[in-house]
Structures are given as structure tokens and as C-alpha cells.
Amino acid sequence: MVTISNNVALHDWEIQLSAIRAQGAGGQNVNKVSSAIHLQFDINRSALPDSYKQRLLALNDSRISKDGVITIKAQQYRTQEQNKEDALNRLAELIRSAMVVQKARRATRPTRASKERRLKAKGLKSQTKSLRGRVRD
């Protein structure tokens, strides 16, 4: 069971884990040990609240397919247990990040003093550049 928040948790039946061989440079166990974890989580079949499902499906994330299946591949660590833990943590973090509400931006205008500072800086830069020209007698 993966805990997302105080009242939301993912059950084990909702998460499909499979062990696969990790990619990358070789080593003694590279062709023998399946230490990477392939995690799949179907958003539509899960017991998540509808608000969570809608926000997750609205995310523009390459890990979420058009069918609403989240796929995470964890192969950073050498052991299967550590990769499993990493994949579950990444899934929980993805779900938590979908629930963060972005603060609405309010349009503001520049102050008169900031406009004057900008124009003064532009004038100084223009004067500096005009002095770089050819010297005439």
C-alpha cells in the first residue's frame, strides 16, 4: 500500500510491477539479473477520487499514455528492492504533484519609477555605443 495523503492511498492490486533487465553498461550480472522494475498504474481502473483522476489525465507527461496508464521504469539502483521502492516513490510524487494547485497570476503594470530607470539605462547604453564609432577631426 502506497500512501499519497492522509485520506488517499493506493492498494497493491492497483499497481502492476514486473522485473526486467536494466539497460546500460555491462557488468558481471548484466545479462543474468533482472534488477530493473517496470511499474504500470491504470488511472481509470484505480480507486483514486475523481478529482485525482481528472488532474492526472490532464497532465502533459510522457509517462502517461493516451489510455490513462502511467508507466515508470526504475533502474537506478543495483537491487530489485531499491528499484521497486524508487518506482513507488516516483509514482506517489507524480500523483502528489498533480494535486498541487498553481497560484493564479494577476497581471500588473510596471511602476513609473521602473519605466524611468529602464529608459535611463537605455539612454546610457545608447550613448556608450555611439562613442564606439570612428573618431573624426
65 domain residue, yes or no: yes
Residue 47 domain boundaries? 2-98
Q: Are 35 and 80 in contact (CB under 8 A)?
A: yes
137 domain residue, yes or no: no
86 domain residue, yes or no: yes
Q: What is the mean pLDDT of residues 35-52?
A: 86
67 domain residue, yes or no: yes
Please state, in angstroms and rounded to a whole number, the distance separating the CA atoms of residues 94 and 103. 19
118 domain residue, yes or no: no
pLDDT tens-digit readout, 87-99: 999 988 988 888 8
3-state secondary structure (DSSP) of residue 24: coil
The CATH number covering residue 39 comes to 3.30.160.20
Write out the three cell numbers for 48.
483514486
Residue 60 has pLDDT above 80, yes or no: yes
Residue 57 has pLDDT above 70, yes or no: yes
Q: Work out how many domains the chain is built from and give that number.
A: 1
Task: Tell me if the pTM is above 0.85.
Answer: no
Highest mean pLDDT among 21-30, 56-65, 67-76, 117-126: 117-126
29 domain residue, yes or no: yes
130 domain residue, yes or no: no
88 domain residue, yes or no: yes
Residue 27 has pLDDT above 70, yes or no: no
